């Protein structure tokens, strides 16, 4: 670590509220949120006038709602002043009028397509002020761009550090960070940074070589693991026969960035002899947004930085906790890309507090169980969704409908297109394969040898009318949730 780096770590440490969580906290992640509310009330007169001078242990759900509403009003003022998109969209909205959660119904939504259409009209700071910029995958030509300032990154480090405390990490523990691919937005960097600032050890290995992963884990005395469940599963399946994984002394495994099925969770827990906890996040909100506690009944959400709502997707109205609907998220503190009432297209529900882990006011998230646009990951994590294929497949006028089945052969994903087509000739087959292979996500996967050349099977017209309408992509891979 260079001298400048040490100074940066020292500064970040001081700004971090995670380091102020008392040792006897029952659920550190919630305590961290309470500290955030109390600190805000100390410096902001408006909030102090509402919740008074409370101690962090006295913060109730009602106080926290007030903290969130205060942050929401502040954020509305901020985005109206600093972003072209919201200056126009929210010109008639008076932030002072938002006093209750029901008042949120009056605030218009932001759609993912709005963000994809004009990402820079959402940026509240100049691009030179960005510490990092991330471009998501998407349909041809339209990619969402999300910016992060240094302040945004520190806020993330803070929540990750608090979450690691909640997972049970302390001074001598070492987190093994296991992501077998280096993405444009490498989660390893944030995780290693969070460990450093929080004072924990970490070891990172991005090699897909399983033996290498094991060696690094052992050499560093890792006590916790975080990574993609499909990869941790591979390690488990291939090493489980050679050594007793329980003897490695791993105390917790955190699964992130991919769906974790219950059967996979059970297999991992049995093999390693520890709990496996699930995480949920979105790039639009800096990834780490919610994490399970040991009770594993829903994911504790980062309510200090994010406001979670669930709406009826047809009426757009808020629904009470416990009811399923579309998840809508507002970034309460984001500086670079502050999104207001962003419709995630995820189907989810919120769970009212308390939780049997000891948390008193934090609302939990029922992990999104399906996306409205049904995304799946193939190759090294590229997201695919029906819209991506619609254009390519329907380019051919003879095609009536289609369904994509994803299977796995060895380590490769196989996409098989079942086509209802008027013309069932080799010409149609070849043109559909060519069109689909040209999609960036598929093309890259084929070049990297992670996806097979797509296949086509013709179906009789009318034979797939029922299933295909409801579900265009069917994931038949064992390790993934459908």
Nearer to Zn ion, 292 or 475 (CB): 292
Nearer to Zn ion, 253 or 291 (CB): 291
* Nearest distance in Å: CB 8, Zn ion: 33
* Nearest distance in Å: CB 294, Zn ion: 7
The residue among 54, 26, 74 whose CA lies nearest residue 353 is: 26
* Nearest distance in Å: CB 360, Zn ion: 10
The SS3 of residue 236 is: helix
Nearer to Zn ion, 306 or 355 (CB): 355
Nearer to Zn ion, 16 or 365 (CB): 365
Nearer to Zn ion, 61 or 295 (CB): 295
| Residue 159 CA from chain centroid, whole number | 13
The residue among 395, 385, 368, 378 whose CA lies nearest residue 477 is: 378
User: Does 357 participate in binding Zn ion (rule CB under 5 A)?
Assistant: yes
Q: Could you give the string, one character per residue 337-356, with x where binding to Zn ion holds by CB under 5 A and - elsewhere?
A: ------------------x-
- Which secondary-structure segment (H or E) carries 95? none
* Nearest distance in Å: CB 258, Zn ion: 22
Residue carrying the six token digits 């009432």: 341
Rounded Cα gap, residues 20 and 17, in angstroms: 5
Rounded Cα gap, residues 17 and 9, in angstroms: 14
* Nearest distance in Å: CB 5, Zn ion: 35
Nearer to Zn ion, 167 or 436 (CB): 167
The residue among 312, 466, 346, 350 whose CA lies nearest residue 403 is: 466
Site for Zn ion in 278-307 (CB under 5 A): 293, 295
The residue among 430, 412, 409 whose CA lies nearest residue 421 is: 430
* Nearest distance in Å: CB 162, Zn ion: 14
Is the CA virtual torsion 441, 191, 12, 306 positive or negative? positive
* Nearest distance in Å: CB 67, Zn ion: 20
* Nearest distance in Å: CB 434, Zn ion: 51
Nearer to Zn ion, 295 or 412 (CB): 295
Long-range contacts of 313-320 (CB under 8 A, 24+ apart): 313/372, 316/105, 316/109, 317/105, 318/101, 318/102, 318/104, 318/105
Nearer to Zn ion, 214 or 293 (CB): 293
DSSP string, 124-157: SS-GGG-SEEEE---STT---EEEE-HHHHHHHH
Q: Of 50-58, 238-246, 359-367, 468-476, which segment contacts Zn ion by CB under 5 A?
A: 359-367
Site for Zn ion in 239-268 (CB under 5 A): none
Give the binding-site size for Zn ion (rule: CB under 5 A). Answer: 5
User: Six-digit token pair at 141?
Assistant: 């030509």
Residues that bind Zn ion (CB under 5 A): 293, 295, 355, 357, 359
């Amino acid at each position: 670590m260079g001298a400048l780096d040490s100074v940066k770590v020292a500064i970040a440490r001081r700004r971090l509220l995670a380091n102020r969580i008392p040792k006897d906290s029952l659920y550190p992640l919630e305590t961290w949120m309470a500290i955030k509310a109390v600190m805000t009330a100390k410096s902001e007169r408006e909030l102090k006038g509402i919740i008074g001078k409370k101690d962090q242990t006295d913060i109730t759900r009602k106080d926290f709602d007030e903290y969130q509403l205060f942050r929401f009003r502040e954020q509305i003022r901020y985005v109206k002043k600093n972003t072209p998109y919201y200056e126009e969209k929210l010109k008639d909205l008076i932030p002072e009028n938002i006093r209750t959660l029901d008042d949120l119904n009056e605030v218009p939504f932001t759609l993912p397509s709005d963000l994809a259409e004009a990402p820079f009209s959402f940026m509240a700071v100049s691009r030179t002020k960005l510490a990092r910029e991330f471009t998501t995958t998407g349909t041809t030509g339209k990619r969402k761009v999300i910016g992060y300032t240094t302040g945004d990154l520190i806020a993330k480090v803070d929540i990750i550090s608090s979450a690691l405390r909640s997972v049970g990490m302390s001074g001598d523990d070492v987190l093994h960070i296991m992501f077998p691919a280096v993405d444009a937005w490498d989660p390893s960097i944030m995780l290693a940074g969070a460990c450093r600032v929080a004072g924990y050890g970490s070891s990172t290995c991005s090699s897909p070589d399983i033996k290498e992963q094991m060696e690094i884990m052992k050499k560093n005395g890792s006590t916790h693991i975080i990574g993609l469940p499909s990869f941790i599963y591979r390690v488990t399946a291939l090493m489980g026969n050679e050594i007793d994984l329980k003897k490695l002394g791993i105390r917790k495994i955190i699964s992130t960035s991919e769906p974790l099925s219950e059967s996979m969770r059970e297999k991992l827990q049995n093999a390693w002899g520890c709990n496996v906890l699930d995480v949920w996040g979105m790039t639009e909100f800096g990834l780490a947004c919610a994490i399970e506690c040991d009770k594993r009944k829903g994911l504790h959400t980062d309510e200090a930085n994010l406001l979670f709502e669930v709406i009826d997707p047809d009426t757009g109205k808020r629904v009470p906790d416990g009811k399923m609907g579309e998840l809508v998220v507002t970034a309460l503190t984001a500086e670079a890309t502050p999104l207001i009432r962003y419709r995630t297209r995820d189907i989810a529900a919120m769970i009212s507090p308390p939780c049997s882990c000891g948390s008193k006011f934090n609302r939990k998230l029922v992990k999104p169980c399906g996306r409205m646009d049904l995304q799946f990951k193939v190759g090294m994590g590229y997201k695919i969704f029906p819209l991506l294929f619609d254009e390519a497949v329907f380019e051919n006028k003879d095609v009536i409908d289609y369904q994509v089945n994803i299977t796995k052969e060895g380590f490769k994903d196989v996409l098989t297109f079942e086509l209802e087509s008027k013309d069932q000739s080799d010409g149609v087959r070849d043109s559909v394969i060519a069109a689909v292979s040209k999609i960036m996500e598929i093309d890259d996967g084929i070049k990297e040898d992670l996806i097979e050349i797509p296949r086509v099977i013709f179906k009789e017209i009318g034979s797939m009318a029922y299933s295909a309408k409801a579900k265009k992509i069917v994931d038949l891979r064992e390790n993934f949730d459908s």
